[in-house]
Structure 1
């Protein structure tokens, strides 16, 4: 029997919401073996119970109150934020994995509060399709708000699922709707050239996407960020806001300030480990083996991989059981940080100017 995408996502999301479950978020997938066979898939450490969010409903989503009229919705992989007002609903991001469940969640909270369930405004955190790819299901009458760079990028992409913002800003934008307020700010590039900060002052809640991952290590290659030094600095910008609740855009739970402190410590440990490995891994064997054949890429690959693995080892040991997926993405994150240190920081190691 063929399983459609929505059914599969629902099954996986329900499994991910269970602390003891294994699967995409905590180990090898269970069930019938895939084309390559289940026994070929790697095993990973269990997801800590503290990293798991609330249980999803039968439709594969959870919607809950943050504070006052501010709510959040998740499918255990992605998150959106919504603000109910007397004039309608302000939605922040429209992840395609949540898709039409966004409309169900909006209907849930609007009815519960006796508010209109029509979405009047949609705020884009940034242009990436995995966070706003369901924008089109809201129709053409929604006021879409984003950074000026977001509009430029979306006009280039010409994706009908991500209409360009109708209202843009460069530095700051205050959105007031039906007695509620959101403060949008651009602090420069980080994960993407256009990623913004969305702050709800009355609710002491900050939404910033693809920077902090509460309860988890950052996604592969430091969130596939386009400016690694700026992404690292964005951690301090995040912690400079007086928030008590964080909507991070990914995974199944909200963040608290201790999550920000913990990820900063993870990054500090990873940085120190990468620098130490860069200084201690001997490049000689890699040059000797591949240099005679002129295979420059083999030298780079094997040496840089060795540095990343050595750097990751103590960090994985420290954070396994504390941050979910420490053993999944820390090697990739070490490699991304190593490359940033080489390219952005000039720490070229054996590939620098030699005597």
Structure 2
């Protein structure tokens, strides 16, 4: 008697509801980012193939269909090759899981996925602030206003610790640890990985002053940074505050801030590069930033060398140059409930 095949949707639900959170132990943010890939796949299957989410079978996910889906991401959704590759990686991880659960049902899907190559993406130039630009940025918030005081402390904390936006949002009063000789903060990063980062006395004083100002020093579970409407700040709020001051800086200091754009991660990049230029070893920087592998941190060594090369080029030209001067649109076809954010 042949074994009953497990459906695509049944396996996908088990993947998100059980395997990723409990077997893999992935964080809610990571799982939500994975869900976006399948929401897009289901949108493509409905709009292009006229197959609703509930009707998708593994047999529908052929090499041609999946390759066309990835091309659709670039042409219709205007995704960059790097984003396309991330979507492919998510599909690949699920295909491996599905094949292990039901080889016969998922074999076509798995074999199609492994035939699709990763697309070569143009290496993007990461924007990094100079030390002078950092000083300007940190001095822009007006401490005479409630939000200005918050913004100054938050931006200072971002630079001093290299914290991610989500780590800023999750920071609580109880995460600050102070002893006679030192001070540190506990940050919870990707995959719920916890790390301790040492902070200066000056930053501690700023944090304590702000915490006392908010009257939350006796409440270790309170979030340090709040928005005007929520007790816990959101990533979009952190990004909005950051972009506000970068725009002000570019407008007021036209001879500085030359990069076309400075995404929020630029502060983290700047922390890493400045630490490296100050002589801090790469392994220590890896631990400060919370990277799993030192290879991820190694990019900052290359970025730092770019800074050296740029300065050398400017010096040569000045002396020897010729001239010395993802919304998903609504539809009546409902998406699976387990793919909604939590």
Q: TM-score, normalised by structure 2?
A: 0.24
Higher RCO, Cα 8 Å, sep 6+: 2
Report the structure number with the largest CA radius of gyration.
Answer: 2
Identify, as 1 or 2, the structure richer in strand.
1
